[in-house]
């Protein structure tokens, strides 16, 4: 059995979080990424049950409002984070266990967890969550395939750590659920006629403004009702209304067609999430090794390597980015370290001039991820494709997955898929290819 500390790092990605929620056995809910703070984006996603916010962790950051330690904890499910790398799962589980919306069906595992640990204090709830085999297995199933194992390095004070927290309304008040605190943070009441999203918006804006100008490493996601379920429900309502009135109108017909298109879009999106998860989990190392062997046998490996090095030198040295985990000092109230917070790697950016908070969030979402090494793998593979005469689809694994590996909407098993063999077989099945290229 895995130890309570064996929790992997996972990405801040709506597809990953949606798949994670399904692994928990929860139905009727999904996660959507927020590209802006504008009201219009929330209008298309209602009902919004909670927000998940990723930000750079400041170790000595004091809570802006009182931390709840009174009898409200008997109704609010708050679990203190007592294990490494679990803040992503902790944030989404906290939102789910405090959500009482009829659309959200927790499923047997989370229902059992809530019933068993609701009477515990926050620390004991955190221990209960960390020892749930189902939750830990679901969390670790979201990890990327590691090509190599490295010894954990000692973190430095210059490294950045990132942390997930949740915001949601509970009993007419807005709460911030941060597992590194001693309890929920009470941000005050929500008026009956007030939208809770209007209350949380300035709080997130003020949190972004705490950082220096040019800091854009933020991510915001919303926990919303299953969009396909919402659209199907709207179609049923329109059809029922039409039957009651005994006539159809062009407006109703157009609206039904629009909703069916949105359902098709949701189906395609979920299929894409499955494909991305498959690529994330697949081990490409055998294919890479076989490809390098072929290049070495054909005396093409060394020239490509030198060319990739030259390109990397022209780009200049990369700025050292933060480790994906960072060990934080243990809390004086706990015997566990609260370290290894989830991190994201981003390309260093020039500080923008006077960006508004919503622009900062949008820029952070649109920013491409930084290369992990000075010698970029993409550059090397690009040389392989362009300079050796290899067919492009030998390298484009995405195309192979799209056309050959995902015949149905169901998530394929890893042992069925072997794109490495397909790639190499595609290259080797016509032994005359190289002679034809030499002849040219």
Q: Which residues are catalytic?
A: 87, 163
SS3 87: helix
The DSSP code for 50 is E
SS3 31: strand
Using a 10 angstrom Cβ sphere, with 0-12 exposed, 13-18 middle and 19 or more buried, the burial of residue 331 is middle
| First vs last C-alpha separation in the chain | 59
Alpha-carbon separation of residue 267 from 13, 118, 196, 256, 316 (angstroms):
18, 36, 30, 17, 43
Residue 219 CB-half CA count within 13 A: 25
Alpha-carbon separation of residue 356 from 3, 202, 205, 212, 361 (angstroms):
44, 12, 9, 13, 9
SS3 51: strand
SS3 415: helix
**Signed CA dihedral, 313, 315, 319, 323: sign only:** negative
| CA 370 – CA 375 distance, rounded (Å) | 12
Phi-psi group of 260: left, alpha or beta (phi > 0 → left; psi -120 to 50 → alpha; rest → beta): alpha
| CA 383 – CA 429 distance, rounded (Å) | 22
Phi-psi group of 85: left, alpha or beta (phi > 0 → left; psi -120 to 50 → alpha; rest → beta): left
CA dihedral 81→87→93→98, nearest 10 degrees, is 70
Do residues 304 and 381 touch, judged by C-beta distance below 8 A? Answer: no
Do residues 152 and 326 touch, judged by C-beta distance below 8 A? Answer: no
What is the full DSSP assignment across 211-244?
A: SPTT----EEEEEEE-HHHHHHHHHHHHHHHHHH
User: Which residue shows structure tokens 């943070």?
Assistant: 185
What is the enclosing helix (H) or strand (E) of 110?
helix 107-117
| CA 283 – CA 144 distance, rounded (Å) | 9
């Amino acid at each position: 059995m895995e130890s309570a500390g064996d929790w992997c790092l996972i990405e801040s990605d709506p597809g990953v979080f949606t798949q994670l929620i399904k692994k928990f056995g929860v139905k009727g809910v999904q996660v959507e990424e927020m590209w802006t703070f504008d009201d219009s984006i929330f209008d298309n996603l209602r009902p919004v049950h909670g927000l998940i916010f990723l930000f750079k962790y400041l170790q000595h950051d004091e809570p802006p409002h009182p931390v709840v330690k009174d009898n409200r904890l008997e109704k609010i499910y708050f679990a203190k984070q007592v294990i490494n790398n679990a803040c992503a799962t902790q944030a989404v589980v906290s939102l789910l266990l405090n959500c009482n919306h009829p659309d959200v069906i927790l499923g047997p595992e989370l229902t059992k967890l809530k019933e068993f640990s609701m009477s515990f204090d926050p620390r004991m709830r955190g221990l209960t969550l960390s020892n749930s085999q189902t939750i830990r297995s679901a969390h670790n199933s979201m990890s990327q395939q590691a090509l190599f194992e490295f010894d954990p390095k000692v973190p430095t004070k210059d490294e950045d750590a990132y942390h997930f927290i949740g915001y949601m309304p509970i009993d007419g008040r807005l709460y911030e659920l941060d597992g590194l605190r001693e309890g929920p943070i009470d941000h005050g009441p929500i008026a009956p006629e007030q939208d809770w999203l209007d209350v949380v918006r300035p709080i997130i804006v003020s949190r972004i403004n705490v950082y220096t100008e040019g800091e854009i490493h933020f991510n915001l996601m919303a926990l919303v009702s299953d969009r396909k379920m919402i659209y199907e429900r709207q179609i049923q309502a329109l059809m029922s209304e039409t039957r009651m009135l005994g006539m159809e109108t062009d407006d109703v017909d157009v609206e039904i067609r629009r909703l069916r298109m949105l359902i098709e879009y949701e189906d395609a999106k979920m299929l894409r999430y499955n494909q991305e998860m498959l690529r994330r989990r697949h081990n490409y190392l055998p294919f890479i090794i076989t490809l390098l062997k072929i290049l070495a046998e054909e005396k093409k490996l060394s020239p490509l390597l030198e060319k990739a090095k030259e390109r990397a030198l022209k780009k200049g040295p990369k700025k050292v980015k933060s480790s994906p985990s960072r060990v934080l000092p243990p809390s004086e109230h706990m015997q566990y370290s609260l370290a290894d917070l989830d991190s994201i790697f981003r390309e260093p950016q020039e500080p923008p001039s006077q960006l508004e908070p919503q622009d900062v969030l949008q820029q952070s979402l649109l920013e491409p991820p930084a290369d992990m090494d000075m010698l970029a793998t993409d550059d090397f593979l690009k040389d392989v494709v362009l300079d050796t005469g290899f067919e492009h689809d030998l390298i484009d694994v995405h195309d192979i997955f799209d056309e050959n590996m995902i015949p149905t909407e169901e998530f394929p098993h890893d042992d069925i898929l072997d794109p490495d063999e397909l790639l190499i077989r595609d290259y080797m099945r016509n032994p005359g290819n190289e002679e034809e290229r030499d002849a040219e």
